[in-house]
Structure 1
Amino acid sequence: MRRFIVTGGLALVLAACGGAAETEDTAPAETEAAADAGSEAAQPAYGEGDALVAGTDYNATTQLKCGFDNAAPEQTCEAGIKRNWGEEGQHLIEVSKPDGFKRAIFLRGTEPYGADSAQADGSAGWDFATTRDGDMVTVKFGPETYVLVDAMVTGG
């Protein structure tokens, strides 16, 4: 009987130690998981969405070659892209021109199909044309020229 009581008491002590150890081991893991879940809400997981560049509403920013007044695209312009802008697979690239204005270029996948225009600046009647060379597309919009790289759209 005495052996049974000692064995039972030892079993209770071990069970209590094991339970405490499990609580200590699992609590930090649960806290880390909760912290990770909070950070995932701020930035999408790899392959599950597209983060924004801090302080902007762009998914990416870059510099691209541009030209104005029918000049070759030898200048550099700041640009930002909004991926999946509008319908799925459609994107918007906004280019900051040297005159302080922005030009929006619209794309389906990696193919540009148009640009914003206005009567006020005379661009309403401008022709829009593109030429592709590998992973680059040159957009000619009236007297303006822009060189877009596919990686800007695809995130590569």
Structure 2
Amino acid sequence: MINPSEPATIELDERVWNLIITINKKVNTAVSPQEDINHWGVIDRWDYPDDGYGDCEDYQILKRRRLVEAGLPRRALRMVVVLDELGAGHAVMAIRTDQGDFILDNKRDAVLPWHQTGYVYIKSEGDRTHAWIWLSNQAVVTSTASR
């Protein structure tokens, strides 16, 4: 559930940055990749990887859960659909901050500014409703700040 009274961006300080990096790496290490068809017997299912297996969106929803439990506003943590380096569909999570948007990805432990991922951005969760926003290869946010 999106709470419009929550901040849409996070103030990025050293504590928050370290929290983001730590959770990204811990989830990437704890979950092993497995496509939904092999895992669940269906083409696509978004679920928590509680059994230690999941595909790209499952990693991201677990990261979001852990970041929210650590006190970050859910509204600033958005699932984003991209085309990856091979042109395949892929899900990542964007963290909107006062220093730009950063991407959490199960393909790498490094948390990168959106414009350094090499991805084509297709759509993102909105920050007011459950509706998705088409990005037309426009980035999640237009800041070029890097960390």
**What TM bracket, shorter-length normalisation?**
under 0.3
Structure having the higher strand fraction is 1
The TM-score, its normalising length taken from structure 1, stands at: 0.26
The TM-score, its normalising length taken from structure 2, stands at: 0.27
